[in-house]
Amino acid sequence: MQKIMVCVKRVVDYNVRVRVKPDGSGVMLDGVKMSVNPFDEIALEEALRIKERAGGAEVVAVSVGVADTQQQLRTALAMGADRAILVQTDAPVEPLAAARAFLALARKENPDIVFLGKQAIDDDANQTGQMLAALWDRPQATYASKVEILGNKAAVTREVDTGLETIEVDLPAVITVDLRLNEPRYVKLPDIMKAKKKPLDTVTPEALGIDLGQMLKVVKTDPPAQRQKGIMVKDVAELVDVLKKKGLIR
């Protein structure tokens, strides 16, 4: 194992209550805390654990987005990544555009594994990893809950409707991770200070020879419908009566 590439995305922190813009054109981001996508943190943690077990492997964190995405890449460096690369663009980054950018970086870096979270918590698209594997023409293993490196292969355990299944893929491969894979490490202040000295390169899509042109158009963004206020009932008989009046039971 020589090199592992981990793709991370800048998203609104999962603790923040997302608010929709008054005109419905999107969500409000001004002054909102942004963080590394939680699934991508798990992907990075797994890469770091493989590095620690194997010894000597290089972990490269990569992302696509605005200049401020450097903050999230610095977090990845503080967790333990060796260096980072940002494909900087002000355009909206769609799954296919991200996959094209990561493909260009994969061809440049030649990693043994590309790790991604199974989805991002902002769009829940769950597409980028699969698209990258198809474009790269390499095996893929999705929803990983356990990863074992077996020489030039990886054994990946994933959850399916009937239980667990383990598949074996040749390396290089694309692996997307699920929540149960691990628990990301806590970043300490000394690690944050060390991360400031680690290399973080910025490139443009043009320099990589790719087009991140927008193919999707967001027509409108609506907040979730408000839940109806519940009522208290004294006993089962009253509950049944209320349900009958609402037409939920007969």
Q: 21-37 burial string, b = 16+ CB within 10 Å, else e?
A: eeeeeeeeeeeeebbbb
Q: 187-206 burial string, b = 16+ CB within 10 Å, else e?
A: beeeeeeebeebebeebebe
> What pLDDT does residue 132 have?
97
Residue 7 contacts by C-beta under 8 Å, 6 or more apart in sequence? Answer: 40, 43, 62, 63, 98, 102, 114, 115, 116, 128, 132
Strand partners, 128: none
Strand partners, 249: none
Distances in Å between the Cα of 132 and the Cα atoms of 99, 104, 109, 152, 217 are 5, 10, 14, 20, 22
> What pLDDT does residue 159 have?
86
Going from N- to C-terminal start, the domains of the chain cover 3-225
3-state secondary structure of 32: coil
> What pLDDT does residue 214 have?
81
Rounded CA Rg of the chain: 21
> What pLDDT does residue 82 have?
95
The domain over range 3-225 is classified in CATH as 3.40.50.11740: no
> What pLDDT does residue 70 have?
96
In this structure, is the dihedral angle defined by the CA atoms of residues 224, 226, 232 and 237, taken in order, positive or negative? Answer: negative
Q: What is the pLDDT along the chain (250 residues), one digit of tens a residue?
A: 799 999 999 999 998 888 888 888 888 888 889 999 999 999 999 999 999 988 879 999 999 999 999 999 999 999 999 999 999 999 888 999 999 999 999 999 999 999 999 999 998 999 999 999 999 999 999 999 999 999 999 999 998 888 899 999 999 999 999 999 999 999 989 999 999 999 999 999 999 999 888 888 888 888 888 887 888 889 999 999 988 888 888 7
The pTM score is: 0.86
Residue type, 191: D
The counts of H helices and E strands in the chain are 7, 11
